[in-house]
Amino acid sequence: MGRNPVTWLGSPTFPDAARASLTDTQLRGNLRKATTTIRTKRAAAVGELDDWERLRRAGESIKDDVLADLDLHLERLEAAVTARGGVVHWARDADEANRIVLDLARQEGADEVVKVKSMATAEIGLNEALEAGGIHAVETDLAEVIVQLGDDRPSHILVPAIHRNRAEIKEIFAKMPEPPTSDDPRALAEAARRYLRRKFLSAKVAISGANFGVADTGSIVVVESEGNGRMCLTLPETLITVMGIEKVLPSWQDLEVFLQLLPRSSTAERMNPYTSIWSGVTPGDGPQKFHLVLLDNGRTATLADEVGRQALRCIRCSACLNVCPVYERTGGQAYGSVYPGPIGAILAPQLGGDLSDPQAASLPYASSLCGACYEVCPVRINIPEVLTHLRGEVVEAKGKRTGEAAAMSAAAWMFRDRRRYEAAQKAGSLSRFIARGGTISSLPWPGSKWTDTRDVPAVPKESFRAWWRRNRG
């Protein structure tokens, strides 16, 4: 297996951030401890249900049915939200979505907004867009607070600060008006409560994402574990929700399936501590203005890919990250995208829509194709299948005038003829003279792109074909 059995590490486009993470022993230790704990608890929670596989297949089926008639379900959702006093906005891309949210916040005279943790708003860079427009966005999820105050980037879908330990968090929280006195988890949590309470009570506008939207009733669903979401969704006068168009579900009966799949796969809980559901505006109770921004941003283009579209089933549980050997060794920041881990490796390149970009092109290679992600996915996304599909598209995007294409053509020429193949085996067997312990640790360019991150096994002195002739005639 050499030094590291990860295909991505041998890729010419292997990100520098991933190389750096491999030498960060503190980061790798934090990740190993956290992912091992989460996946162990998840396995126990899932093991309690005899019908888990039936639930997975039900989730897969519902999502596929939604994607098949996505336009109809979205129109029904819009009509239901509007009928209940909400306003629906359609955003084709990140710029349009950011402009809509910024204009709405300005209309309310806000210079600061509170936010529920949201992958969709991170995807479009909403915080940065608001800041550029003179509005400060305050993250209220504890892990997001850590990331924001630390001028850091998230590294996990569910636990954005998974790469930080409590000593590091105490140092980050020193920026608070009332910093914690120790790195005890209770002291850290109490400091965060004091900091956020002032924000909740003063905010006029809140911004959220959405886990699901129910087309029948126009209901938006947010699940979380800390209660910060509940505060954001009820206290401010105006609520703005940014929802990816793939998050719509036809009915409450469909929602029942996902409220069983999501908590067990993400937080290893039987149910989420806080499940907030609202339908438009309720006079005299909660926000009196509700805006729903339906975000495309590459989703329609992804839907057109018969293999890649299954990535749109994702319910952002992060189970695939916690079992991935690549993620455990590199962390989420190494992926260079908002969506890290196996799901990010197939979702980010498709939403970005440009596989000629070196960063996007590197992501489908961020996998050993072991299949563990497919086994734990609650909606049965065949991530290895999509990864290999996207790798093929990356190769096609490069064209035929590349060193890689020339090498593959030479290999094809060699494999087409038995004599050429056997001659190549004999020539390759000479590699044993530069091997140490059966492996080669250093090759000249372009072979160095491989040996920089892994060993190459030496070609045996005698091939199987030659051994067979000698022993079996």
Rounded Cα–Cα distance for residues 441 and 448 (Å): 9
Residues paired with 293 in a beta bridge: 89, 242
Instruction: Please indicate, yes or no, if residue 3 is contained in any of the structural domains.
Output: no
* End-of-domain residue from the set 346, 374, 398: 398
- Over the chain (473 residues), what is each successive 10-residue block's mean pLDDT? 35 54 73 89 95 97 98 98 98 98 98 96 97 97 95 87 91 95 95 95 97 98 95 96 98 97 94 95 95 98 97 96 92 89 95 84 93 97 98 86 82 93 88 84 82 84 90 86
State both tokens at 23. 């030498």
Q: Retrieve residue 269's tokens.
A: 């809980």
Residue 344: what pLDDT?
Answer: 95
pLDDT at 12: 42
Together in a domain, 215 and 250 = yes
**Does some domain include residue 49?**
yes
What CATH number corresponds to the domain at position 46?
A: 3.40.50.10420
Say if CB 251 and CB 217 are below 8 A apart. Answer: no
Q: Identify whether 418 is part of a domain.
A: yes
Q: Which among 365, 383, 398 is the end of a domain?
A: 398
Boundary of a domain, candidates 272, 297, 322: 297
| 423/366 same-domain check | no
* Residue count of the chain: 473
348 and 292 co-located in one domain: no
Looking at the structure of the chain, the number of domains it has is 3
Give the pLDDT score at 118. Answer: 95
> Does residue 206 sit in the same domain as residue 324?
no
Residue entry with tokens 């998974």: 162
Could you tell me how far CA 472 lies from the centroid of its own chain? 53
| DSSP assignment letter at 151 | T
Domain CATH code at residue 325: 1.10.1060.10
Judgement on whether residues 98 and 187 belong to the same structural domain of the protein? yes
Torsional sign, CA 196, 199, 200, 206 = negative
Q: Are residues 141 and 197 in the same domain?
A: yes
pLDDT reported for residue 32: 87
Residues 287 and 229 in one domain: yes
Residues 6 or more apart whose Cβ sits within 8 Å of residue 261: 55, 56, 59, 315, 317, 378, 379
What is the pLDDT at residue 16? 60
Strand partners, 222: 276
Residue 352's alpha-carbon distances to 261, 264, 302, 416, in angstroms, are: 28, 30, 10, 38
User: From the CB of residue 182, how many other CB atoms can be counted at a distance below 10 Å?
Assistant: 11
Cβ contacts of 216 within 8 Å, gap of 6 or more: 76, 80, 250, 251, 252
Residues 6+ apart with CB under 8 A from 185: 166
HSE-CB of 324 using CA atoms within 13 angstroms:
28
Tokens (6 digits) for 466: 């030659």
What per-residue confidence (pLDDT) applies to 296?
A: 98
What is the token pair recorded at 17?
């951030």
Picking from 366, 263, 373, 371, the residue whose alpha carbon sits closest to that of residue 317 is 263
* 348 in a structural domain: yes
The three-class DSSP label of residue 54 is helix
Centre a 10 Å sphere on the Cβ of residue 354 and count the other Cβ atoms it contains: 11
**6 located within any domain:** no
Task: Kindly state whether residue 412 falls inside one of the protein's structural domains.
Answer: yes
* Domain shared by 341 and 326, yes or no: yes
Domain of 387, in residue numbers: 301-398
Asked if the structure places residue 16 within a domain, the reply is no
Q: What share of the chain is helix, strand, coil (3-state, %, to 5)?
A: 55, 10, 35
Other C-beta atoms within 10 Å of 404: how many? 12
Specify whether the CB–CB gap between 76 and 83 falls below 8 A.
no
11-29 burial, b if ≥16 CB within 10 A, otherwise e? Answer: beebbeebeebbeeeebbe
Residue matched to tokens 């290893």: 268
H or E segment at 409?
helix 403-415
